[in-house]
Amino acid sequence: DQQVKQNSPSLSVQEGRISILNCDYTNSMFDYFLWYKKYPAEGPTFLISISSIKDKNEDGRFTVFLNKSAKHLSLHIVPSQPGDSAVYFCAAPLYGQNFVFGPGTRLSVLP
Amino acid sequence: DSGVTQTPKHLITATGQRVTLRCSPRSGDLSVYWYQQSLDQGLQFLIQYYNGEERAKGNILERFSAQQFPDLHSELNLSSLELGDSALYFCASSVGGLAGGIETQYFGPGTRLLVL
């Protein structure tokens, strides 16, 4: 049973445009969400997070939006750059520090 | 570079064998986590250690075990290997000890295990 879903395995965007990566969750107990980015041959690196008491968190070109009623969050990257090409994972702590990860979305930013 | 190191980078072995994966956390981090990533799957949490003691268990098979040593490095032991155990195994570390808080986990580059 996938508690964190990323239904788009891949996404291609033109450089300079907006990238929107989506994530849905089923467990209403989740109250904190994280996005990780992964380049080939490297481990995931933390990108941005959001607590359920907020509906938006921004960090430079990256903004995460949370819609609790829809159990949906999205990561916006504006403007997209070729260096953003990576696999993006959505994650939530199930209990304590034990994260549940989605399957990831591969973003390709085309020059 | 996250500061988390994992060895070996690649491992090829046969079914029925046993292997040990090693992880050194970031300097000062007390918590170590192990994750498995199979093909096209998200990372599956296996187990967490905090300062030498097991803190939480996820979907870890009985054939798998782990430990954290006094110098805080950790080893994941996989035995009676099956073809389906082929995966990327990641170790992560965090400061540890934040009561009720969510800590950023820093991941190592992973060990790619191939069971033939």
- Identify which of A45, A49, A103 has the shortest CB distance to residue B41: A103
How far B40 CA sits from the closest chain A CA (Å)?
6
How far A23 CA sits from the closest chain B CA (Å)?
13
* Average pLDDT of the segment spanning A27-34: 90
Q: How far is CA B77 from CA A7, A65, B23, B63, in A?
A: 33, 39, 12, 8
Using a pLDDT cut of 70, give the percent of chain A over it.
Answer: 97
Question: CA–CA separation, B51 vs B71, rounded Å?
Answer: 9
Q: Which two three-digit tokens encode residue B23?
A: 């992880």
Using a pLDDT cut of 70, give the percent of chain B over it.
Answer: 95
Question: CA–CA separation, B47 vs B76, rounded Å?
Answer: 9
- Identify which of B55, B103, B108 has the shortest CB distance to residue A43: B108
